[in-house]
Amino acid sequence: MTAPLLDDDAEAGAGSLRLDWERVTAHVGAAPPSRLERVFCGAGRSKDDAPRLKVALDAASGSVAPGEMACMLGPSGAGKTTLLSILGARPQLGAGGSWTGRVLVNNAAPRKLWLRDLGFVMQRDIFFDTLTVGQELAFAAATRLPRSWTPERRRQRAAEVAAQLGLTSVLPSKIGSAVERGLSGGEVKRLNICVELLNDPRLLLLDEPLTGLDSSRAFSVLEALRARATAGHRAILLSVHQPTSKLWLLFDKLVLMAPGGRVAYEGSASDAEAFFESCGLPLPASWNPPDHYVECLGDEPRAAKLLAARAEKPREAADGGGALVAREPWPAFGAQVRALAGRGLRNARGTMLKPLEWVLVLCLALIWGWLWYRVDAPGGRAAHASDVVSVVFFVVAQWSWGPAFQQLGAFPSERDVLTKERASEVYSIEAYFVAKLLCELPVLALMPLAFLIILLPMVAVPGSCFAAIYGAALLVSWVSQSLSNAISAAVFKTDHATTVVIIAMVYCMCCGGFFIDMEQQPGAISWVRFTSYWYYSMGLFAKVALLPYDTPHHDMRAEIDTYSFSTLSLRMDVAVLVAYGTAFRVLTYLFLKCSRKLRFS
């Protein structure tokens, strides 16, 4: 199997990358036991409950050169994943974890945005389970391939790589999840590799890429990677649990990791047998070499012999590698936004726009319309003007609480995907933020419209008021979404965000002037109404939805005066609500831009 290269890098060796790591030492942190763990599990308590650290890598050094496919072998706990994550600028070291040493690209510190030249296949496959394979590849092609490429050329590139990895037949299939039927584990793993191969990275790191693959499929995947390394002068480093003898023949270089994160051997795969024999550990007859190597590394006395021999053998000095050739820039900001918005809208069909949400909204409209049926019609059931105020309150409540809870999981549910893709520098956080705003528009516009089309005629609101009430509902819904987004982006945990949103909404609702006349409260308390967007929302709805009811039948002005809604002008209420929503949106962007929860730690 051959892997066609991008035209921009068709010349062998053009802009190739050599990766070196020198004396990389990593300490992995673990959180101290919680109180519940100490009480129920008998966990010990340290003097200061500081994070516990253990050595995951111990002065590990090695390299992978252009044209090489290097295999990293070692028993569980040898630090293979930790080393790959550090080399790929995605350290996962836990609380208090840290690492020291040097990672060099072409014998120099990595340049800015070098991650665009790096493909990293994580051990965990992270995708949106609602998308199909074709949709995921289309998005990856739109964000990873050069901006000068036409859409047709991107589609061809995605189809080529999908065919190389045997994914053509599953392009229409949904990716699925652990609880929803979709791709098999091996197909998801191949999709993970396919996405990273789309832009033909100059350096490719893969953490257990053969997990879930049968021997035949594993061989075809490795054969494609080997062809890419040879023909394109690419550097490839991957970890494998225990390769078969057929797979073993495809590797050029071998990196053996002993427990404790120590490198026991680094060199040609064909020379490893002689090295083990020189240490008094010859390969038994009829044994698969990697089986023997891993068994020796797992035995402490034999591993000690290998480490001693490794210490006596000096490492070869790194050469400079090829010259760094700047690649064509990724798609422009507008193209990133279009790709992200398209994916977001497809994803929203299974989340925010799911039928259950519509059932909830329409049923609430019918219930309130029935209970307040023709509340202001001549001879209607309403005996008091307060009945009209009550239905308006529930309208404000619906378009405050509903949108807030719809948006609660917006960022936490996408955290893993966002962290993974941002680490590859395939799009900017600004493009993601703008696309997220665009994806909210259908929910923001359509649901209030359907709700009011049912409710307002039932409660006998004059048709001339419909546009103003709909505009007010849109504005309140937008502010509520903005508040929820800011909290969600700040917390990044749905359960925690739910608690914070409930507290914030109850505060705003109680200060809004419906339940208590805030103007009559002591000065130390009454001012809080100005901090509640409900205060201005109820004032806005009073002007557009309640004053039209001011008739001899209902003295609505007198009724409104019994509440402490905003007494500002209509324009000022709108301006304050716009200011609130804008401030929440700015906070959302700042939280996303600066959040450490969207970075590997």
Q: What is the pLDDT of residues 446-481, one digit of tens each?
A: 889 999 999 988 887 777 888 999 999 999 999 999
Interval 564-594: pLDDT, tens: 788 888 899 999 999 999 999 999 999 999 9
In a domain, 8, yes or no: no
Q: Calculate the average pLDDT of the chain.
A: 84
Do 437 and 293 reside in the same domain of the chain? no
Length of the chain: 601
253 has pLDDT over 70? yes
User: What percent of the chain is modeled with pLDDT above 70?
Assistant: 86
For 317-339, b where at least 16 C-beta lie within 10 A, e where not — what string? eeeebbebeebeebbeeeebbbb
Higher pLDDT, 191 or 440: 191
- 48-75 mean pLDDT: 85
User: What percent of the chain is modeled with pLDDT above 90?
Assistant: 39
The pLDDT of residue 564 is 79
**Residue after which a domain boundary falls, among 253, 281, 311:** 311
Q: DSSP label at 149?
A: S
Among 362-376, 384-398, 407-421, the minimum mean pLDDT is found in: 384-398
pTM of this prediction?
A: 0.84
Do 293 and 347 reside in the same domain of the chain? no
- Side chain identity, residue 546: L
Q: Phi first, then psi: give them for residue 214, nearest 5 degrees.
A: -75, 170
In a domain, 543, yes or no: yes
- Side chain identity, residue 164: Q
Do 170 and 255 reside in the same domain of the chain? yes
Do 361 and 263 reside in the same domain of the chain? no
Placement of tokens 């009073």 in the chain = 542
CATH number, domain containing residue 187: 3.40.50.300
Q: Which of 396, 487, 475, 478 is nearest to 437 (CA)?
A: 478
- 298-327 mean pLDDT: 73
22 has pLDDT over 70? yes
33 has pLDDT over 90? no
pLDDT-derived band of residue 15, with 50, 70 and 90 as boundaries?
Answer: low
pLDDT-derived band of residue 380, with 50, 70 and 90 as boundaries?
Answer: very low
Q: Which of 440, 418, 433 is nearest to 352 (CA)?
A: 440
Do 115 and 235 reside in the same domain of the chain? yes
In a domain, 539, yes or no: yes
Do 249 and 121 reside in the same domain of the chain? yes
pLDDT-derived band of residue 320, with 50, 70 and 90 as boundaries?
Answer: low
388 has pLDDT over 80? no
The pLDDT of residue 3 is 45
- 207-217 mean pLDDT: 88
pLDDT-derived band of residue 10, with 50, 70 and 90 as boundaries?
Answer: very low
Do 285 and 432 reside in the same domain of the chain? no
Q: Which of 201, 258, 138 is nearest to 8 (CA)?
A: 201
**Residue after which a domain boundary falls, among 311, 346, 373:** 311
- What distance in Å separates the CA atoms of residue 175 and residue 185, rounded to the nearest whole number? 10
Do 229 and 368 reside in the same domain of the chain? no
331 three-state secondary structure: coil
Ordered alpha helix ranges (H), 354-428: 355-371, 386-406, 415-423
In a domain, 9, yes or no: no
In a domain, 153, yes or no: yes
Q: Interior CA angle at 561 toward 559 and 562, to 5°?
A: 70
In a domain, 323, yes or no: no
Domain region containing 209? 19-31+56-311
Total domains in the fold of the chain: 2
Query: Is the separation of the CB atoms in 338 and 151 below 8 Å?
Result: no
pLDDT-derived band of residue 49, with 50, 70 and 90 as boundaries?
Answer: low
413 has pLDDT over 50? yes
305 has pLDDT over 70? yes
What are the CA-CA distances from residue 174 to residues 131, 142, 146, 170 (Å)?
Answer: 6, 19, 27, 8
- What distance in Å separates the CA atoms of residue 458 and residue 522, rounded to the nearest whole number? 40
Q: Which of 434, 435, 412, 427 is nearest to 598 (CA)?
A: 412
Find residue 69's DSSP bridge partners: 236
- 549-576 mean pLDDT: 76
- What distance in Å separates the CA atoms of residue 218 and residue 228, rounded to the nearest whole number? 15
194 has pLDDT over 70? yes
- 487-498 mean pLDDT: 90
Higher pLDDT, 331 or 480: 480
pLDDT-derived band of residue 216, with 50, 70 and 90 as boundaries?
Answer: confident
Tokens of 355: 């039928």
Do 417 and 489 reside in the same domain of the chain? yes
Do 267 and 348 reside in the same domain of the chain? no
In a domain, 369, yes or no: yes
Q: The sheet that has 19-30: what strands, in order across it?
A: 52-64, 19-30, 98-105
Q: DSSP label at 425?
A: T
Ordered alpha helix ranges (H), 206-327: 215-232, 245-248, 272-278, 289-298, 300-312
- 386-411 mean pLDDT: 85
Do 117 and 202 reside in the same domain of the chain? yes
Do 346 and 234 reside in the same domain of the chain? no
199 three-state secondary structure: coil
- What distance in Å separates the CA atoms of residue 119 and residue 424, rounded to the nearest whole number? 8
How many helices, marked H, and strands, marked E, lie in the chain?
Answer: 21, 9
pLDDT-derived band of residue 319, with 50, 70 and 90 as boundaries?
Answer: low
The pLDDT of residue 31 is 58
Tokens of 227: 């062809």
- What distance in Å separates the CA atoms of residue 291 and residue 248, rounded to the nearest whole number? 10
Tokens of 38: 């100490």
- 111-132 mean pLDDT: 86
In a domain, 429, yes or no: yes
Q: Which of 532, 524, 520 is nearest to 564 (CA)?
A: 520
- 308-333 mean pLDDT: 67
The pLDDT of residue 11 is 39
